[in-house]
Chain A
Amino acid sequence: MEPVPAASSSFLEADRLALQIGERWLCCEFSLSLGAGECLVLLGPNGAGKTTLLHTFAGLRTPTAGTVRLAGRPLGDWASGEVARYRGLLPQQQPDHFSSTVLETVLVGRHPHLGRWGWESAEDESIARGALQDVGLADMDRRDILTLSGGERQRVAIAALLAQAPRLYLLDEPTNHLDLHYQIQVLELFRRKAGNGCAVAMVLHDINLAARYADYIILFDGRGGVVAGTCEQVLQANRLSHAFGHPLERHGLDGKSVFLPV
């Protein structure tokens, strides 16, 4: 993580950010800046504060100290509809109690682009269908979401996020429920989004997938400590072992590092 640059070329900046839940500090004063084409991964044990940090980036909660800026502007200065067109969040879970078709669910992502009385246009529909195509669900558009499997449901949520078309993607465990094929496909998809001028920050649990797709990593140790930096800086066996409370070993494989639990 470079120091915060003066210009607002960065999509997401955190300035001396600190998060506290109750009496517990999740992370203490750290800063970061994420620009176009960059991909940040949050790693750490359960309950370490990854989701809390992601939600703080999204503006769903205010940090205990410090500020979050999107495109150089503090989060508080954004109108709710405006910020919804700039950043999108994939929640960890998709609670569904009411039935709805896959296409309708994806069209919900177009909400911030429509006026108060607006209805989805043919263009919105083609954006939604394109998003379904991207996650391999093009032929499922009329299915009821309550009949889908967990992995299909996750891909519908990803398609809804793609339909929202933000510049900054905040993903909470995007590979949840996905089989290996779609884990890779989804991560490649967001890597391409970054390549096309967006920025991505995501929570992952797989260290090796993180190593493969991240430019920067924030590693939580679950005790309030946070290490931030490039993959090479952060992904070290001793640090990871300390953070996850389980010994990990680094293995070289075709010139790449692979981390395996002992």
Chain B
Amino acid sequence: MTTVIPFGPQHPVLPEPVSLKLELDNDVVVGALPSLGYVHRGLEKFIDTKDYNQTTYICERICGICSALHGITYTKAVEKLFDVEVPERAEYIRVIVGELNRVHSHLLWLGLFADGFGFESLFYECWKYREPVLDVLERICGNRVIHSISRVGGVSKDLTKEQIDMILKMLDTVESQVKDLEKVFVNNYTVKKRTVGLATMSKQLAYEAGTVGPTLRGSGVSSDLRESADWDIYRDLGFKPVVEKDGDCYSRTLVRVKELYESIKIIRNAISKLPNGDIATPIKGFPTGEAIMRTEQPRGEVVYYVKGNGTKNLERLKIRTPTFANIPSLLLTLPGVKLADVPIVVLTIDPCISCTER
């Protein structure tokens, strides 16, 4: 006989409300059903009342963690409608802010993950190391959470020499701190005991479940939109996707730890190649046509669809966020997992529910 118990919507490991109905046989999960709707804000409807420029601000507020990349993806989608060429300097600044966004997001996740299995001191360290990244973002963008850097046609703020020096200095510090964290996440007995072999997802299963980002790459699939032609600037920055083969919670953790180094490398390369010039191209008229833009957010691929009809308002904006794509994988990986391990498994998809429900 099985028992059905609720996991969430309020749970110590969940920063945001999501609920799972878990079907248990003793303490082993045999089925899971996600239940959403606690933070649905109807943002795709809300943009009916905003023009395409104001919609940038709405997109930046979909998520408080990957705010910059939401804004960047949206503006790049609208730029496709205008067929406009964005100044190279603006593209480099977008990359720098986007990767800083990824560094702080991964450090945030590593802390939450450590907290999820009761490793409180590790949680403190991760979040302490994240603070200087947020400080730098605040100095560059004027805000710690909503970075608001991208505008249709370019970026809203330029980088000064002092800000660039500040970023480089911060990266040196963070890189050495990440090396300390890596030792723990890779070698610590407790971390390995709680994650190795847990909720394993094969390459085939991960692909068929539609997973994205570190969840997909942790199962051995080399898929990262920083390699795509849509944002080809990454090709000049020495980017290489991080892939782990085992498909378990440990692999998904390692992907995120190693991606911190990759982001730091990309930012340094972007700064060394940062061209001089304008930071925005003036835009005239209203958007027409339809376009899809995808970028690699910290949690994986985000898809933006925009449709313009020649007026100031978009006819349709559709956003498919990475967690939305990763939730179905829980239906496939949770069966067979012990109840005590459910929080760990849920955390390894790095759930962002505000993004998911919009």
- A and B: interacting chains: no
Q: Which residues of A contact B (CB under 8 A)?
A: none
Q: Which residues of B contact A (CB under 8 A)?
A: none
